[in-house]
Amino acid sequence: MTPVEIRDVYVRLETDLLVVGDSIVTDRHHASNGNYEDDDPQNQIGGIIPAFPLSGWLRHGMERVVQEYGRTACHPGEANANFRMADVYDRDLESGYHEKGACVDDSNGDDGCVILDLFGGFHNRPGKVMRRPIRFTPVRNSVDYTRGQAEGHYRRLNRNVVSRNPEDGRDPLRNTELDAVANFEGAWHLSFRERKPEFVGLLIEAVDFLDTHRTEFMHQLGGARNFGAGIVDCDLINPLYEERELKRVFDRAKGSTNAMDEKDEQWIETYRPVFIEALEDRIAEGS
Protein backbone atom coordinates (compact mmCIF):
# COMPACT_ATOMS: atom_id res chain seq x y z
CA MET A 1 0.00 0.00 0.00
CA THR A 2 1.36 3.39 -0.87
CA PRO A 3 -0.14 6.36 0.92
CA VAL A 4 -2.12 8.66 -1.30
CA GLU A 5 -0.26 11.71 -2.39
CA ILE A 6 -1.73 14.22 -0.02
CA ARG A 7 -1.31 17.84 -1.01
CA ASP A 8 -4.34 19.61 0.42
CA VAL A 9 -5.67 19.05 3.91
CA TYR A 10 -8.31 20.72 6.02
CA VAL A 11 -8.33 21.12 9.78
CA ARG A 12 -11.73 21.64 11.34
CA LEU A 13 -11.58 24.46 13.90
CA GLU A 14 -14.32 25.35 16.31
CA THR A 15 -14.19 27.97 19.06
CA ASP A 16 -16.68 30.11 20.95
CA LEU A 17 -14.43 33.14 20.98
CA LEU A 18 -11.31 34.08 19.10
CA VAL A 19 -9.32 37.27 19.62
CA VAL A 20 -6.41 37.98 17.35
CA GLY A 21 -5.70 41.54 18.48
CA ASP A 22 -5.97 44.19 15.84
CA SER A 23 -5.16 41.85 13.03
CA ILE A 24 -8.63 40.65 12.05
CA VAL A 25 -9.41 42.16 8.69
CA THR A 26 -13.12 42.91 8.44
CA ASP A 27 -15.32 43.91 5.58
CA ARG A 28 -17.56 46.05 7.78
CA HIS A 29 -17.11 49.10 5.58
CA HIS A 30 -18.92 47.23 2.84
CA ALA A 31 -21.69 46.05 5.10
CA SER A 32 -22.25 49.22 7.07
CA ASN A 33 -23.33 51.65 4.39
CA GLY A 34 -22.18 54.44 6.65
CA ASN A 35 -24.41 53.42 9.54
CA TYR A 36 -22.06 51.12 11.30
CA GLU A 37 -22.51 50.65 15.04
CA ASP A 38 -19.81 48.33 16.19
CA ASP A 39 -21.81 46.83 19.04
CA ASP A 40 -25.00 46.17 17.12
CA PRO A 41 -25.70 42.42 17.24
CA GLN A 42 -27.52 42.68 13.94
CA ASN A 43 -24.25 43.35 12.15
CA GLN A 44 -23.58 40.79 9.49
CA ILE A 45 -19.89 41.25 9.29
CA GLY A 46 -17.33 38.86 7.97
CA GLY A 47 -13.61 39.14 7.69
CA ILE A 48 -10.33 37.33 7.55
CA ILE A 49 -8.27 35.63 10.22
CA PRO A 50 -4.68 36.10 9.09
CA ALA A 51 -2.47 33.02 8.82
CA PHE A 52 0.11 34.34 11.26
CA PRO A 53 -1.55 33.47 14.59
CA LEU A 54 -2.86 30.18 13.17
CA SER A 55 0.60 29.23 11.97
CA GLY A 56 2.21 30.03 15.33
CA TRP A 57 -0.39 27.95 17.14
CA LEU A 58 0.11 24.95 14.84
CA ARG A 59 3.89 25.27 14.93
CA HIS A 60 3.89 25.26 18.72
CA GLY A 61 1.83 22.05 18.70
CA MET A 62 4.27 20.47 16.24
CA GLU A 63 7.25 21.51 18.35
CA ARG A 64 5.69 19.80 21.34
CA VAL A 65 5.14 16.59 19.38
CA VAL A 66 8.81 16.54 18.36
CA GLN A 67 9.82 17.19 21.97
CA GLU A 68 7.61 14.36 23.18
CA TYR A 69 9.63 12.06 20.93
CA GLY A 70 12.63 13.16 22.96
CA ARG A 71 14.05 15.46 20.29
CA THR A 72 14.63 19.19 20.25
CA ALA A 73 12.61 21.46 17.97
CA CYS A 74 13.90 24.31 15.85
CA HIS A 75 13.59 27.59 17.71
CA PRO A 76 11.21 29.93 15.88
CA GLY A 77 13.48 32.97 16.40
CA GLU A 78 16.77 33.80 14.72
CA ALA A 79 19.68 33.18 17.09
CA ASN A 80 21.33 36.42 16.09
CA ALA A 81 18.22 38.53 16.49
CA ASN A 82 18.58 41.31 18.96
CA PHE A 83 16.49 39.71 21.66
CA ARG A 84 15.55 42.02 24.44
CA MET A 85 16.16 39.18 26.83
CA ALA A 86 18.96 37.02 25.52
CA ASP A 87 18.58 34.74 28.50
CA VAL A 88 15.10 33.75 27.28
CA TYR A 89 16.62 32.31 24.12
CA ASP A 90 19.25 30.49 26.14
CA ARG A 91 16.61 29.18 28.50
CA ASP A 92 14.61 27.82 25.53
CA LEU A 93 17.71 26.08 24.22
CA GLU A 94 17.93 24.25 27.49
CA SER A 95 14.29 23.19 27.39
CA GLY A 96 13.58 21.40 24.19
CA TYR A 97 14.84 23.69 21.41
CA HIS A 98 17.89 23.89 19.23
CA GLU A 99 19.10 27.12 17.71
CA LYS A 100 17.16 27.93 14.58
CA GLY A 101 18.94 26.32 11.66
CA ALA A 102 21.52 24.51 13.80
CA CYS A 103 20.08 21.35 12.24
CA VAL A 104 21.25 22.42 8.75
CA ASP A 105 24.74 21.41 7.62
CA ASP A 106 24.62 23.17 4.31
CA SER A 107 22.20 26.07 4.35
CA ASN A 108 21.46 25.58 0.68
CA GLY A 109 20.89 21.92 1.14
CA ASP A 110 17.63 20.21 1.73
CA ASP A 111 18.32 18.95 5.19
CA GLY A 112 17.38 20.41 8.52
CA CYS A 113 14.84 19.17 10.99
CA VAL A 114 11.23 18.49 10.10
CA ILE A 115 10.07 21.77 11.71
CA LEU A 116 12.49 23.85 9.64
CA ASP A 117 11.51 21.84 6.59
CA LEU A 118 7.84 22.67 7.12
CA PHE A 119 8.14 26.29 8.23
CA GLY A 120 11.19 27.43 6.27
CA GLY A 121 13.35 30.32 7.20
CA PHE A 122 16.75 30.60 5.57
CA HIS A 123 17.75 32.08 2.23
CA ASN A 124 14.14 32.93 1.47
CA ARG A 125 13.36 29.28 1.58
CA PRO A 126 9.61 29.01 2.01
CA GLY A 127 8.14 26.51 4.41
CA LYS A 128 6.83 23.43 2.72
CA VAL A 129 3.41 23.77 4.30
CA MET A 130 1.41 26.69 3.00
CA ARG A 131 -0.75 28.20 5.76
CA ARG A 132 -3.66 30.19 4.43
CA PRO A 133 -5.73 32.85 6.13
CA ILE A 134 -9.34 31.92 6.89
CA ARG A 135 -12.18 33.98 5.50
CA PHE A 136 -15.22 33.97 7.77
CA THR A 137 -18.77 35.13 7.36
CA PRO A 138 -21.83 35.03 9.61
CA VAL A 139 -23.97 33.81 6.73
CA ARG A 140 -23.61 30.06 6.91
CA ASN A 141 -24.89 29.18 3.49
CA SER A 142 -22.29 31.38 1.86
CA VAL A 143 -19.39 29.64 3.59
CA ASP A 144 -17.33 27.57 1.17
CA TYR A 145 -15.55 25.03 3.36
CA THR A 146 -13.73 23.56 0.39
CA ARG A 147 -11.94 26.89 0.06
CA GLY A 148 -10.91 26.91 3.70
CA GLN A 149 -13.62 29.23 4.98
CA ALA A 150 -15.53 29.46 8.23
CA GLU A 151 -18.72 30.62 9.81
CA GLY A 152 -18.13 33.32 12.41
CA HIS A 153 -19.48 36.57 13.78
CA TYR A 154 -17.26 39.58 14.05
CA ARG A 155 -17.61 41.41 17.35
CA ARG A 156 -16.04 44.53 18.73
CA LEU A 157 -15.56 43.99 22.45
CA ASN A 158 -15.23 46.99 24.71
CA ARG A 159 -13.53 46.85 28.04
CA ASN A 160 -13.29 49.63 30.53
CA VAL A 161 -10.19 49.85 32.64
CA VAL A 162 -11.28 51.46 35.88
CA SER A 163 -9.32 53.20 38.59
CA ARG A 164 -8.88 51.28 41.80
CA ASN A 165 -8.49 54.39 43.91
CA PRO A 166 -11.63 54.62 46.08
CA GLU A 167 -11.79 58.41 45.61
CA ASP A 168 -12.13 57.95 41.83
CA GLY A 169 -15.42 56.09 42.27
CA ARG A 170 -14.51 53.48 39.64
CA ASP A 171 -14.29 56.08 36.91
CA PRO A 172 -13.09 54.51 33.69
CA LEU A 173 -9.47 55.45 33.05
CA ARG A 174 -9.54 54.27 29.52
CA ASN A 175 -11.50 52.11 27.18
CA THR A 176 -9.96 49.32 25.20
CA GLU A 177 -11.48 47.71 22.17
CA LEU A 178 -10.79 44.21 20.95
CA ASP A 179 -11.59 42.65 17.61
CA ALA A 180 -13.10 39.25 18.19
CA VAL A 181 -14.84 36.49 16.29
CA ALA A 182 -17.59 34.59 18.07
CA ASN A 183 -19.08 31.17 17.27
CA PHE A 184 -16.35 30.33 14.87
CA GLU A 185 -16.45 27.06 12.96
CA GLY A 186 -14.74 26.19 9.76
CA ALA A 187 -12.03 24.56 7.78
CA TRP A 188 -8.43 25.73 7.72
CA HIS A 189 -6.88 24.86 4.38
CA LEU A 190 -3.24 23.79 4.37
CA SER A 191 -1.26 22.69 1.32
CA PHE A 192 2.03 20.88 1.20
CA ARG A 193 4.36 22.38 -1.39
CA GLU A 194 6.32 19.17 -1.25
CA ARG A 195 4.82 15.86 -0.31
CA LYS A 196 6.56 13.91 2.37
CA PRO A 197 4.59 11.38 4.41
CA GLU A 198 6.24 12.54 7.66
CA PHE A 199 4.68 15.99 7.15
CA VAL A 200 1.24 14.43 7.27
CA GLY A 201 2.28 12.34 10.27
CA LEU A 202 3.40 15.41 12.18
CA LEU A 203 0.21 17.26 11.28
CA ILE A 204 -1.92 14.34 12.52
CA GLU A 205 -0.11 14.21 15.84
CA ALA A 206 0.03 17.99 16.33
CA VAL A 207 -3.70 18.42 15.72
CA ASP A 208 -4.42 15.63 18.22
CA PHE A 209 -2.09 17.25 20.72
CA LEU A 210 -3.65 20.69 20.30
CA ASP A 211 -7.15 19.29 20.69
CA THR A 212 -6.22 17.41 23.86
CA HIS A 213 -4.42 20.42 25.36
CA ARG A 214 -6.87 23.07 24.13
CA THR A 215 -7.61 24.56 27.54
CA GLU A 216 -3.94 25.00 28.41
CA PHE A 217 -2.91 28.62 28.22
CA MET A 218 0.12 27.80 26.06
CA HIS A 219 -1.99 26.04 23.45
CA GLN A 220 -4.90 28.42 23.13
CA LEU A 221 -5.07 30.42 19.94
CA GLY A 222 -4.65 34.19 19.66
CA GLY A 223 -5.10 36.78 22.38
CA ALA A 224 -7.29 37.30 25.47
CA ARG A 225 -6.53 33.77 26.57
CA ASN A 226 -6.79 34.75 30.23
CA PHE A 227 -10.43 35.42 29.47
CA GLY A 228 -11.08 32.06 27.88
CA ALA A 229 -10.65 33.07 24.26
CA GLY A 230 -8.95 30.75 21.80
CA ILE A 231 -9.99 27.40 23.25
CA VAL A 232 -10.15 25.52 19.98
CA ASP A 233 -11.66 22.13 19.24
CA CYS A 234 -9.74 20.87 16.26
CA ASP A 235 -9.40 17.79 14.17
CA LEU A 236 -7.94 16.81 10.87
CA ILE A 237 -10.70 16.18 8.36
CA ASN A 238 -10.18 12.82 6.71
CA PRO A 239 -7.98 13.63 3.68
CA LEU A 240 -9.66 10.78 1.79
CA TYR A 241 -12.94 12.71 1.68
CA GLU A 242 -14.11 14.22 -1.55
CA GLU A 243 -15.34 17.81 -1.65
CA ARG A 244 -19.00 16.97 -1.14
CA GLU A 245 -18.06 14.82 1.84
CA LEU A 246 -15.99 17.63 3.30
CA LYS A 247 -19.03 19.91 3.09
CA ARG A 248 -21.11 17.30 4.85
CA VAL A 249 -18.80 17.46 7.89
CA PHE A 250 -20.19 20.95 8.53
CA ASP A 251 -23.78 20.21 7.68
CA ARG A 252 -25.61 19.77 10.95
CA ALA A 253 -28.68 18.46 9.16
CA LYS A 254 -26.82 15.53 7.62
CA GLY A 255 -24.79 12.81 9.18
CA SER A 256 -21.91 11.00 7.60
CA THR A 257 -22.60 8.59 4.77
CA ASN A 258 -21.65 4.93 4.69
CA ALA A 259 -18.92 5.81 2.22
CA MET A 260 -17.54 8.37 4.69
CA ASP A 261 -17.60 5.84 7.52
CA GLU A 262 -15.72 3.40 5.34
CA LYS A 263 -13.14 6.05 4.51
CA ASP A 264 -12.74 6.81 8.21
CA GLU A 265 -12.01 3.18 8.90
CA GLN A 266 -9.60 3.05 5.99
CA TRP A 267 -7.85 6.19 7.18
CA ILE A 268 -7.42 4.98 10.72
CA GLU A 269 -6.43 1.42 9.95
CA THR A 270 -4.43 1.74 6.77
CA TYR A 271 -3.27 5.27 6.05
CA ARG A 272 -2.70 6.92 9.40
CA PRO A 273 -0.16 4.34 10.65
CA VAL A 274 1.93 4.76 7.48
CA PHE A 275 2.20 8.52 8.04
CA ILE A 276 2.98 8.13 11.73
CA GLU A 277 5.65 5.58 10.94
CA ALA A 278 7.23 7.95 8.42
CA LEU A 279 7.35 10.62 11.14
CA GLU A 280 8.92 8.18 13.59
CA ASP A 281 11.54 7.20 11.00
CA ARG A 282 12.43 10.81 10.25
CA ILE A 283 12.71 11.64 13.93
CA ALA A 284 14.79 8.51 14.55
CA GLU A 285 17.20 9.74 11.88
CA GLY A 286 17.78 12.65 14.19
CA SER A 287 15.99 15.34 12.31
Residue nearest to Zn ion as judged by C-beta position: 74
CB of 80 to Zn ion, least distance (A): 15
- Half-sphere exposure at residue 75, Cβ-oriented, CA atoms within 13 angstroms: 20
Minimum distance between the CB of residue 48 and Zn ion, rounded to whole angstroms?
A: 30
What is the footprint of Zn ion within residues 213-232 (CB under 5 A)?
Answer: none
Alpha-carbon dihedral angle through residues 116, 118, 119, 125, given to the nearest 10 degrees: 80
Between residues 100 and 156, which has the closer beta carbon with respect to Zn ion? 100
Asked if 62 is part of the footprint of Zn ion (rule: CB under 5 A), the reply reads no
Residue 203 binds Zn ion, judged by CB under 5 A: no
Smallest distance from Zn ion to CB 138, Å: 41
| Cα–Cα distances in angstroms (integers) from residue 249 to residues 11, 43, 47, 145, 233, in the given order | 11, 27, 22, 9, 14
Pick the closer one to Zn ion by CB: 60 or 225.
60
Nearer to Zn ion, 166 or 286 (CB): 286
Q: Count the residues of the shown chain that bind Zn ion, applying the rule CB under 5 A.
A: 4
Subset of 79-118 contacting Zn ion (CB under 5 A): 103, 113, 116
Closest to Zn ion by CB, 6 vs 113, is 113
Whether 200 and 128 have beta carbons less than 8 Å apart is answered as no
Residue with Cβ nearer Zn ion (75 or 156): 75
What is the contact surface with Zn ion in residues (CB under 5 A)? Answer: 74, 103, 113, 116
